[in-house]
Structure 1
Amino acid sequence: MVKLIQFIYSCVAVAILTPVGPAYAETSLRGSSYSSKFKVIERRNSTGSEISLSRDPVYIPGLADDDIYRPNADGKHVELAKMMAQKNGVPVDLFLRLIQQESGWNPKALSHKGAIGLTQLMPDTARYLGVDPHDVRQNLDGGARYLSQQYKRFRNWRLALAAYNAGPEAVAKYNGVPPYKETQNYVRRILR
């Protein structure tokens, strides 16, 4: 019994004292499911490395499950986003996933094409909707309203998302989700 306890202590000591760097932490998470991921934080003190594990979700772009809704750390815009989705008749979870996909919950996001804010409104779309895309409330309202308009036109959330991403003309032209990789991936990630 004593040897068993010594063996267990040895295993625990090795597990605690073995340094694990961020590169190992990232690659070891790649194949795991989102719910089992741990946030790995490395802190150095005078005695060496100390690893702390937390069950907080970690967003690592490029993982297979990066489409899972993960709002910003403080959740500051989530309630407003939910309210705007409900106001405009958009399923709340769908809208939250759209925001995650569009901006990663960064209200100051600016795309290389010029899309602005949490819902990545293009300047012309924002003007059409009569909203200031730099104002969080107006951006969320405009994004939810625009998605709702696309749903009313195409009567299908899949096509509404495709229209939100590629434009309604592209969806009408192809009579479905356009054959653009970006749009196909966009729709797939949000609807997963």
Structure 2
Amino acid sequence: MQPNKPELRRQAAAARETLARAAGDIGARLVTSFASAILIKPCGTIAGYHPFRDEADPLPLLRFLAAAGWECALPVPVDPPDGLVFRAWRPGGALVTGRFGILQPPETNQALRPDIVLVPLLAYDGAGRRLGYGAGYYDRALANLRRAGPVLAVGIAYAGQRVAAVPTQAHDEPLDMVVTEEGAMDFRKAVS
């Protein structure tokens, strides 16, 4: 029997903590995996996140993309129905402590519409389903972005965060890809 979402979250958080300690700094490997899987020219806007707890760290990837000419943004939680707004940020730029103690750009930074959203997660499966923390911020933000036009949702994870199946509900937004220190999985190819 498959565990329910709260139990799976507990198990996945414990597993991710162990993976983070064992993997060390995976930043350079994430850059390699991302660059080999995603066309990085022409440049666009990419929304990352500032790592919280033991999330896979996308900051080296954001530094790489910013140096290549990409415009970067980080998420700022907002009340429903939006979930998140993505505010402009350059690596090394000012950050403030936001909701949940997560570092984010100041409210004065311009809101941007990303072409690619890097998504943190607790677990993912081979169909592109993502297990988050349960508040639905990324699901609402991705749904809003997708209603307005194309956006690529890319989970950033340790390879060991993959599970057999993530239970989903109607509001859960799928990932298009997952990038790990071992490579990338493109879920769009599975459905086309």
- Which TM-score applies when normalising by structure 1? 0.25
Structure with the higher strand share, 1 or 2? 2
Larger CA Rg, structure 1 vs 2: 1
Structure with the higher helix share, 1 or 2? 1
- Which TM-score applies when normalising by structure 2? 0.25
